[in-house]
Amino acid sequence: MLMPPRPMILSIFRAFSCLFVAIRGPSLTVVLVSLTRGAYDRQPIELRRPRRPAILSFPQAVCDNSAMRFLGLTLPTIAENVALDEALLEWAEDEDPAWEFLRIWESPLPAVVVGRSSRVHQEVNVVACREQGIDIVRRTSGGAAIVAGPGCLMYAVVLSYKLRPELKDIRRAHAHVLGRHVEALQPVLAGLGNVAQTGTSDLAFVATDHPSGGARSPVAQKFSGNSLRARRSHLLYHGTLLYNFDLCLLETCLRVPARQPDYRDKRSHADFVSNLPLARPTLVDALQRAWPTDSALTDWPAARVAALVADRFGRESWNYEFP
């Protein structure tokens, strides 16, 4: 049997070479893999569509939901309060992809709330907390341990991906929520200083009259720590706003974290954290201006809160899951 010459065979194989498509970020990469070149040239041939310029800044506001509802409710225990944030998220997930909530509360007693993956004994002085009767509860969002209590205003927003699809990008979520808080807080500081997003999810305050000393730059002090939890159709974003908090509790309850944002510059808790020089009503008003609501939430998932406390937030096996 006569065989066609080798050049003809190579032409046929080149005509039917395999190809595959790989999508890498915003660009489309087409890689032609030649069945014949494999033995002689192992470098694939790539045809690339030009990349779009990287987006380096994010909008501070994605949309406004005039139907967001407000809940100003503090429950008796820290376990119930942490459970209520989670219950609102689950309620929105189960009922309506467009539901959104703003909740503001303040723990009547000092308490420690650790992050979902926190190792309790590495972040918290457990012995000191037990001696002073300070409860330790694990939340479902990320981040490190915080201390709540009188003088520490707590907030939570449940946001809809249907209305705000850009927030599926975690960087945009941080920039969006904290950007709104900066825009709401800066005008009411009236020359007392400036606030800005710092680190990954902190808000810091630089006092106008801070004694920076010579050529040193003004010192940024943290007054707000924040974390998020993403579900299928909603995002829970919650955090703290210190305004009249006993900062000595930070030294008592928390260990110095191994991982620190650059702007902390190895400072102690006492030097790194400060209260924002605003009264509680001013802070509440700023949050409500940042997240306009059309009505108060008169009904809330009380049964779900009780179940979450019984099954999770009230159990030592959950709160000390990662000792």
CB 63 within 8 A of CB 172: no
Q: Do 34 and 126 lie in a common domain?
A: no
**Contacts of 241 by beta carbon, 8 Å cutoff, 6+ apart:** 152, 153, 154, 155, 203, 223, 224, 276, 283, 287
pLDDT of residue 46: 36
pLDDT of residue 271: 96
Q: How far, in whole angstroms, is CA 99 from its chain's centroid?
A: 19
Q: Do 108 and 35 lie in a common domain?
A: no
Q: Do 44 and 84 lie in a common domain?
A: no
User: Rounded to whole angstroms, what are the CA distances from 62 to 59, 162, 167, 196?
Assistant: 6, 12, 8, 19
**Helix/strand/coil for 123:** helix
Q: Do 111 and 40 lie in a common domain?
A: no
Nearest to residue 158, comparing CAs of 104, 103, 201?
A: 103
The answer to whether residue 119 sits within a structural domain is yes
pLDDT of residue 210: 61
pLDDT of residue 208: 87
H helices within the chain, ranges in order?
6-15, 78-95, 120-123, 126-131, 170-189, 248-253, 269-272, 280-290, 302-308, 316-319
**Helix/strand/coil for 162:** coil
| Mean pLDDT computed over 252-269 | 95
Residue-wise pLDDT tens digits, 6-33: 444 444 334 433 333 333 333 333 333 3
The answer to whether residue 63 sits within a structural domain is no
For the domain that residue 262 is a member of, what is the CATH number? 3.30.930.10
The answer to whether residue 186 sits within a structural domain is yes
Please tell me the distance from the alpha carbon of residue 218 to that of residue 216, in angstroms, as a whole number: 7
Please tell me the distance from the alpha carbon of residue 111 to that of residue 133, in angstroms, as a whole number: 9
Q: Do 159 and 42 lie in a common domain?
A: no
Residue-wise pLDDT tens digits, 194-251: 999 999 999 999 998 765 544 456 799 999 999 999 999 999 999 999 999 999 999 9
Is the confidence at residue 59, as pLDDT, over 90? no
| Mean pLDDT computed over 265-277 | 96
pLDDT of residue 63: 66
The answer to whether residue 56 sits within a structural domain is no
pLDDT of residue 57: 37
Q: Do 135 and 197 lie in a common domain?
A: yes
Q: Do 128 and 275 lie in a common domain?
A: yes
Which residue range is the domain that position 30 belongs to? 16-48
Q: Do 231 and 201 lie in a common domain?
A: yes
Is the confidence at residue 56, as pLDDT, over 70? no
The answer to whether residue 2 sits within a structural domain is no
The answer to whether residue 7 sits within a structural domain is no
| Mean pLDDT computed over 256-264 | 93
Q: Do 119 and 235 lie in a common domain?
A: yes
Residue-wise pLDDT tens digits, 142-186: 999 999 999 999 999 999 999 999 999 999 999 999 999 999 999
Please tell me the distance from the alpha carbon of residue 207 to that of residue 193, in angstroms, as a whole number: 4
Please tell me the distance from the alpha carbon of residue 322 to that of residue 259, in angstroms, as a whole number: 17
Q: Do 43 and 75 lie in a common domain?
A: no
The answer to whether residue 122 sits within a structural domain is yes
**What is the pLDDT confidence band of residue 39, given thresholds at 50, 70 and 90?**
very low
Q: Do 80 and 193 lie in a common domain?
A: yes
CB 91 within 8 A of CB 69: no
The mean pLDDT value of the chain amounts to: 84
The answer to whether residue 3 sits within a structural domain is no
pLDDT of residue 218: 78
* Bridge partners for 152 per DSSP: 242
| Mean pLDDT computed over 264-274 | 96
pLDDT of residue 26: 37
H helices within 116-204, ranges in order?
120-123, 126-131, 170-189
pLDDT of residue 67: 82
Nearest to residue 163, comparing CAs of 227, 112, 92?
A: 92
CB 186 within 8 A of CB 317: no
Rounded to two decimals, the pTM is 0.79
**Contacts of 187 by beta carbon, 8 Å cutoff, 6+ apart:** none
Report the domain count for the chain.
Answer: 2
Residue-wise pLDDT tens digits, 104-144: 999 999 999 999 999 999 999 999 999 999 999 999 999 99
* Count of CB atoms situated within 10 Å of the CB of 150: 13
Q: Do 176 and 310 lie in a common domain?
A: yes
CB 211 within 8 A of CB 98: no
